[in-house]
Chains A and B, each alone.
Chain A
Amino acid sequence: MTTLTKEAGAPVPAGADAFLSVRDLHVSFRTEDGVVRAVDGLSFDLERGRTLGIVGESGSGKSVTNLTILGLHNPMFTTVEGEILLEGQELTTARESELEKLRGNKVAMIFQDPLTALSPYYTVGRQIAEPYMKHMRASKKAAWERAVEMLDKVGIPNPGQRAKDYPHQFSGGMRQRAMIAMALVCDPDLLIADEPTTALDVTVQAQILDLLKDLQQEFGSAIIFITHDLGVIADMADDIMVMYAGGAVERGTVHEVLRAPQHPYTWGLLNSMPRLDSDPHAPLAPIPGTPPSLLHPPSGCRFHPRCTFQDRVGGTRCVTEVPLLGPDRSSACHLTADQKRTIFEEEIRPRLR
């Protein structure tokens, strides 16, 4: 079974076999301008040892979803509805002390910018040892040894010495390696990587991606991998979820989604992305317009103001009716399955090859 899903809003038995199960999640922020609906009715499941890639542009809600899983949002201004179940434990209503036991232990996170995510005040070794001391009740000495071992594992040369360095003494790629070491120090079951390679150079990115893949094989964690780069997802993930304006619009295994994408937004993303193997003389086909403001999201399908296939659906369904995302392999679009297939085969695919 792949990432199992349900129709938005429909009742579903709590993910009995799923390790992480997000059910009809709504997250909204109160701001001066009004209520921002950052995540609107999102559901997904993740199993142990698998990697879920979440793709989306800025403001699509991909980071907010994962901050909510860890309870890192500001409760003063945030409203969270729906369920997040980690091995059956409800996280949205969990107390701060319970979440603290999870963070860095069972669930760990790798952030985009390692320089701001690491404290400039403590040595790298101490920062890696800290969660190990807290969660494993290890002695200072044992935790330090563990930190050095982890630094060695992620490929920091001379780890015994480098553990005594401060983050500013590390290069960008090494800092990200230190972050990975910190995330993996307690052997987490779930690792959330939020754009972990976006701030890195391409040759370093390739090293880090391969390192994460190899470490996953060794540690067997489930990974949620957030990125805006479809190329990175194709390389890393087992399953893909494409997000747009606070909701998922398409999901399936990497193979399914990349072999025959179904949603006009996914087509748009693929068409607008320059690749090394595409025909350079074919002009890029960008998605018209800009992503909507989540203060006043469009009615019906949130993609309809930018969608070029609206007329094929006919009527006003796209404007009035919210398309639902089915279980397993599916896309939230009013086009019929036949239409999706023919449009992709006849109009999209020739441009991509």
Chain B
Amino acid sequence: MTEDLVLPAPREAATDAPGEPLLEVAGLVKHFPVKGGFPIRRTVGQVQAVDGIDLTVHVGESFGLVGESGCGKSTTGRLITKLLEPTGGRIAYRGKDITHATRRQLAPIRSEIQMIFQDPYSSLNPRQTVGKIISGPMEINRIEPEGGREKRVRELLEIVGLNPEHYNRFPHEFSGGQRQRIGVARALSLDPKLIVADEPVSALDVSIQAQVVNLLQKVQQELGIAFLFIAHDLAVVRHFVVRHFSQRVAVMYLGKVIEVGDRDSIYTRPRHPYTHALLSAVPEVNVGAEDDEEVPQRERIRLAGDVPSPISPPSGCRFRTRCWKAEDKCAAEEPPLIQLSGNHAGHLTACHFPEEPTIEARDEDIVLDPALAALEEDADD
């Protein structure tokens, strides 16, 4: 094979100036064909999983991507790692277009972009030992670290908080949290520059979740690796995306980014109605609040129904079918992702009729669900 496959994988994170774009995605589209008909199966529709999203991840940055199931966040992750072939748009890594790169062209880049998967049970080969799993990427890329692969694997096990003596064990001997640590060690084995973490903690118990979030943060900060952190849990994303020069979060809905911006700006001054609804839906706990203490009330918004099908998404603004502010304009015209007046620089919102930038309780709750509204009316009478 060619020379360029043998990457020395130098730890040169320091030479990369933070703030330089590492990954640029423009107008990314992924449509999955829907087959149907008999006896000849034809394409009868398209699942518009990702439909024109733009994002930039800078060197050493952690970027959060949140959304509900079916919004295309995982597909985005898989497109960026090139596990899926994009239907349209452009992906550039360090300025180099990799949208339709071949396997061979991708090989040197693959080692710099690694992925951590959601399910620690199905993402590790049950027939391989931990040592084999973690050294696998080095073998494929023919990397001989100083002191041998085994030494490097033992180092990695130590970094992720496992006992190096577990080298010869099999995945089934570990708990869910420990397996996820093995997945992290595997992702680190090639000294990547960017890690795409697709729901890395959602399969874990609460007490274990925090261990893995802290581990990923440590890895991120000490090794200077950029993270694309994909999750449905807003609180986890808020906690992960911190302590960096840049800490951005994007909210996705039905294949589109509907709001993106600085973390604090998104969580405390959201403008898109969907971001408001999402934040208000997170159950809150007031721990240790004194009896007489005034706890600021958050707004209460209850949407009706579920996310529409991505096979035939609504025209114009995709959120309009569940939005309480929707008007004719929303159906006719797709709102552009722009910076609204009064927002911080870099806080972009795609909405024709944005909300006030506050999440405090409103004069009246917004309850769109007819059954809920009816029951609550009965209770009031």
- Identify the A interface with B (CB < 8 A): 57-58, 152-157, 171-174, 201-207, 209-211, 214-215, 217-218, 228-232, 234-235, 258-261, 268-278, 280-281, 283-288, 290-291, 344, 348-349, 352-353
A306, B170: Cα distance in complex, Å? 25
Give every chain A residue within 8 A of B289 (Cβ-Cβ). 258-259
B288 pairs with A353, CB closer than 8 A: yes
B281 pairs with A206, CB closer than 8 A: yes
Give every chain A residue within 8 A of B210 (Cβ-Cβ). 271-274, 284-287
Give every chain B residue within 8 A of A348 (Cβ-Cβ). 288
Shortest beta-carbon distance, A174 to chain B, in Å?
7
15 A–B contacts from the bound complex (CB under 8 Å) = A58-B205, A171-B305, A172-B69, A174-B305, A203-B278, A207-B369, A214-B372, A259-B288, A268-B207, A269-B206, A284-B213, A284-B214, A286-B208, A290-B178, A290-B208
Give every chain B residue within 8 A of A202 (Cβ-Cβ). 68, 232-234, 278, 281-282
Give every chain A residue within 8 A of B306 (Cβ-Cβ). 171-174, 201, 204
A201 pairs with B69, CB closer than 8 A: yes
B238 pairs with A214, CB closer than 8 A: no
User: Are A203 and B303 CB-contacts (below 8 A) given A155-B372, A280-B238?
Assistant: yes
B236 pairs with A274, CB closer than 8 A: yes
Give every chain A residue within 8 A of B305 (Cβ-Cβ). 157, 171, 173-174
B281 pairs with A205, CB closer than 8 A: yes
A231 pairs with B285, CB closer than 8 A: yes
A207, B367: Cα distance in complex, Å? 9
In B14-71, the 8 Å CB interface with A consists of 68-69
Known: A155-B371, A203-B278, A217-B379. 15 other contacts (CB 8 A): A172-B69, A201-B68, A201-B306, A205-B281, A207-B304, A209-B283, A231-B282, A259-B291, A269-B207, A272-B209, A273-B285, A276-B234, A284-B213, A290-B175, A290-B178
Shortest beta-carbon distance, A136 to chain B, in Å?
23
A288, B178: Cα distance in complex, Å? 12
With CB as the reference atom, state the residue of chain A lying closest to B241. A280
A349, B286: Cα distance in complex, Å? 11
Give every chain A residue within 8 A of B178 (Cβ-Cβ). 290
A201 pairs with B242, CB closer than 8 A: no
With CB as the reference atom, state the residue of chain B lying closest to A257. B287
Give every chain A residue within 8 A of B68 (Cβ-Cβ). 201-204
A171, B308: Cα distance in complex, Å? 9
With CB as the reference atom, state the residue of chain B lying closest to A155. B371
A235 pairs with B242, CB closer than 8 A: no
A232 pairs with B371, CB closer than 8 A: no
A209, B304: Cα distance in complex, Å? 13
A344, B42: Cα distance in complex, Å? 64
Shortest beta-carbon distance, B174 to chain A, in Å?
9
B217 within 8 Å of A by Cβ?
A: yes
Give every chain B residue within 8 A of A274 (Cβ-Cβ). 210, 213, 233, 235-236, 238-239
B6 within 8 Å of A by Cβ?
A: no
With CB as the reference atom, state the residue of chain B lying closest to A283. B214
B375 within 8 Å of A by Cβ?
A: yes
B205 pairs with A228, CB closer than 8 A: yes
Give every chain B residue within 8 A of A217 (Cβ-Cβ). 375, 379
| 9 shortest interchain CB distances as A-B pairs | A155-B371, A231-B283, A272-B210, A286-B210, A214-B375, A206-B281, A274-B239, A201-B68, A284-B210
B239 pairs with A291, CB closer than 8 A: no
B284 within 8 Å of A by Cβ?
A: yes
B243 within 8 Å of A by Cβ?
A: yes
Shortest beta-carbon distance, A176 to chain B, in Å?
10
A57 pairs with B207, CB closer than 8 A: yes
Give every chain A residue within 8 A of B302 (Cβ-Cβ). 206-207, 210
Shortest beta-carbon distance, B153 to chain A, in Å?
22
B321 within 8 Å of A by Cβ?
A: no
Give every chain A residue within 8 A of B278 (Cβ-Cβ). 202-203
Shortest beta-carbon distance, A162 to chain B, in Å?
12
A155, B290: Cα distance in complex, Å? 37
Give every chain A residue within 8 A of B129 (Cβ-Cβ). none
| Cβ contact of A229, chosen from B239, B242, B283, B379, cutoff 8 A | B283
A276, B234: Cα distance in complex, Å? 8
A43, B378: Cα distance in complex, Å? 36
B326 within 8 Å of A by Cβ?
A: no
Query: B342-381 toward A: CB 8 Å interface, digit per residue (1/0)?
Result: 0000000000000000000000000001111001101100
Give every chain A residue within 8 A of B263 (Cβ-Cβ). 280
Shortest beta-carbon distance, A202 to chain B, in Å?
5
In B260-295, the 8 Å CB interface with A consists of 263, 267, 277-291
With CB as the reference atom, state the residue of chain A lying closest to B379. A217
A276 pairs with B372, CB closer than 8 A: no
B232 pairs with A284, CB closer than 8 A: no
A316, B134: Cα distance in complex, Å? 41
Give every chain A residue within 8 A of B267 (Cβ-Cβ). 276
Give every chain B residue within 8 A of A58 (Cβ-Cβ). 205
B162 within 8 Å of A by Cβ?
A: no
